[in-house]
């Protein structure tokens, strides 16, 4: 038997497997290093750097006087809505500032309700009214933070 190679075949290099193994090891090291960097970066970003001695925010609930308004009923008979609501604002000592702005808050409710039809208050319409009024009230009491608006009563006649 002879060990001759045919003319159209090329002999396999002896170091070919070794190069593949070295490349695979290098790829694994690069992936492990990148994973360790990402874990360290996101782990430290998620934890607070230092705890400050800031006071926890105190929230106060303020009652908005009952609002009685007529709805846009078109040619039908007049329809009324009565809404009782509460507003949750930051810090009790600023509650007096909100009380001074209560006429503007009631006016915003009246303006919004006069343009609504009775059918708009059914289903998710109450949620849309709440979101609209929360945005308007937040603008009215601007430097003071508003956390939430609660409807205590919504009565459509």
CB 148 within 8 A of CB 75: no
* pLDDT the model gives residue 2: 56
Can you give the residue ranges of every domain in the chain? 13-52, 59-156
- Written as tens digits, the pLDDT of the chain (157 aa) is 555 555 665 555 566 788 888 888 777 777 777 777 776 777 665 555 555 566 787 888 889 999 999 888 777 788 899 999 999 988 767 777 888 899 999 999 999 998 888 888 888 889 999 999 999 999 998 888 888 999 999 988 8
* Residue 71, strand partner residues: 79
Q: Does the reported pTM lie above 0.75?
A: no
* pLDDT the model gives residue 107: 93
Residue with tokens 């809404």: 83
- Nearest in space to 113 (alpha carbons), one of 82, 152, 147, 75: 82
Tell me the C-alpha distance between 84 and 95, whole Å: 18
* pLDDT the model gives residue 16: 78
Q: Residue 50, SS3?
A: coil
Q: Residue 148, SS3?
A: strand
Residue with tokens 């990148």: 34
* pLDDT the model gives residue 30: 73
* pLDDT the model gives residue 49: 54
* pLDDT the model gives residue 78: 86
One of 2.40.40.20, 3.30.479.30, 3.40.718.10, 3.90.950.20 is the CATH number of 59-156, namely: 3.30.479.30
């Amino acid at each position: 038997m002879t060990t001759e190679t045919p003319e159209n075949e090329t002999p396999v290099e002896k170091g070919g497997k070794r190069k593949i193994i070295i490349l695979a090891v290098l790829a694994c090291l690069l992936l492990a290093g990148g994973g360790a960097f990402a874990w360290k970066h996101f782990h430290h970003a998620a934890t607070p750097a230092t705890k400050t001695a800031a006071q926890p925010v105190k929230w106060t609930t303020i009652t908005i006087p009952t609002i009685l308004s007529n709805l846009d009923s078109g040619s039908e008979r007049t329809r009324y809505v009565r809404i009782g609501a509460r507003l949750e604002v930051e810090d009790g000592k600023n509650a007096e500032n909100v009380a001074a702005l209560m006429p503007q808050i009631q006016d915003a409710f009246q303006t919004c309700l006069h343009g609504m039809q009775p059918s708009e208050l059914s289903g998710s319409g109450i949620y849309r009214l709440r979101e609209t009024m929360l945005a308007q009230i937040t603008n009215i009491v601007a430097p003071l933070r508003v956390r939430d608006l609660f409807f205590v009563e919504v009565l459509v006649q």
